[in-house]
Amino acid sequence: MIDSENVSTHRKIIETYYLIKRKEATNRKELADILDTSEKTIGNYIKKLKEDWEVDIKFDYTLNQYHVEDEGLFYQLRGTKLLQEEDIHMILSALNKIQDFTPEKINYIRGRLLSLFPGKEMDVLRKSFYRELGSIKPNNTIESNIQVINSAIIEKKKIEFLYLKASTEKLPYEKRVVSPYYLAEDFGKYYVISKKDNDHEFRNYRIDRMSQVKKLEENAVLDQDFNAEKYLKQTWYMNSGKKTKVKVKFNIDAYQVVTERHMQVGKVIEKDEDSFIYEFIANGTKGIMIWILGFGNKAEVLEPWELREEIKNIAEKMLGVYK
């Protein structure tokens, strides 16, 4: 069996190399902050890079930073082509036939795969992929936005952008300045989880609605207790909002579907032969409302009262449509 802890350590050793090589982090404190470990552990990682990977890493005491003098075994890996052209054709052809993969997602994966090849070879492959994938067009805006946002997350900087609102207004775009935390994907759309200064709730911005994205020099204001995995488990269809405790009474037929749901963590607080009551935390109620409505008359919201009333009003309007 593979030792997961050992795999994680090797991954962080490799990340340490690339962070120094790309000058994204150049001293022990910066590396420790990004990799969420101690400065002493970073010292051990660098020792491993020198001994096991034959990397020549020097420390400049004047500039207080590490730099790579010789890439060692990483140079040999860089010259090794792990994928051939036909492999990438096969991968993209398969993705194109899967309905869950949208054109935006395929184009993002395509871009990352093409980056493994030299310039001229990449240009030839790009043209052949356009013919093979037919109507799928590259979305350079989404790819470039993701790169800028990811860079800001690594460097802990704020970002500025214009955001296209979902509602129809005279001024559909609104300028936003936020501290980005995490990139996420849901149903083929990419999002950045972020927070504005003095806001209590996180917001999820769809990257395809963002334009003129810029990384600012201003440092991000970050909540050190933020846990992306926990946040996403409590987020429904990437709708954001205030943390809300929700109680729903379900028909017993829905027990397996509800309790196996992977996007949130909840608990059964009551159960009998006909029904059960499920309690959980959701970030806002817009996303959870969509999910609950999908159960029809097999789900009844008990709390909060506002969500119960909103679903009740929707049900009454739907009944009016079908009269």
pLDDT at 23: 83
Does 219 fall in a domain? yes
Domain boundary among 33, 57, 78: 78
Domain boundary among 33, 49, 78: 78
pLDDT, one tens digit per residue, over 34-66 is: 888 899 999 999 999 998 888 899 998 888 899
Q: Are residues 160 and 196 in the same domain?
A: yes
Separation in Å, CA 146 to CA 189, 192, 215: 12, 9, 11
Cα separation, 288 vs 118, whole angstroms? 46
Q: Are residues 269 and 316 in the same domain?
A: yes
Does 299 fall in a domain? yes
Domain boundary among 167, 198, 226: 226
Does 143 fall in a domain? no
Does 97 fall in a domain? yes
* b/e 93-111 (16+ beta carbons within 10 angstroms → b): eeebeeeeeeebbbbbebb
pLDDT beneath 70: ranges in the chain: 1-7, 75-140, 167-171, 261-265
CATH number at residue 309: 3.30.70
Q: Which residues span the domain enclosing 190?
A: 151-226
pLDDT at 117: 61
Q: Are residues 221 and 197 in the same domain?
A: yes
pLDDT at 119: 58
Does 115 fall in a domain? yes
User: pTM above 0.85?
Assistant: no
Cα separation, 232 vs 186, whole angstroms? 10
Amino acid at 176: R
Q: Are residues 242 and 283 in the same domain?
A: yes
CATH number at residue 37: 1.10.10.10
User: What is the number of domains present in the chain?
Assistant: 4
Does 145 fall in a domain? no
Q: What is the mean pLDDT of the chain?
A: 79
Does 146 fall in a domain? no
pLDDT at 255: 87
SS3 275: strand
Percentage of the chain exceeding pLDDT 70: 74
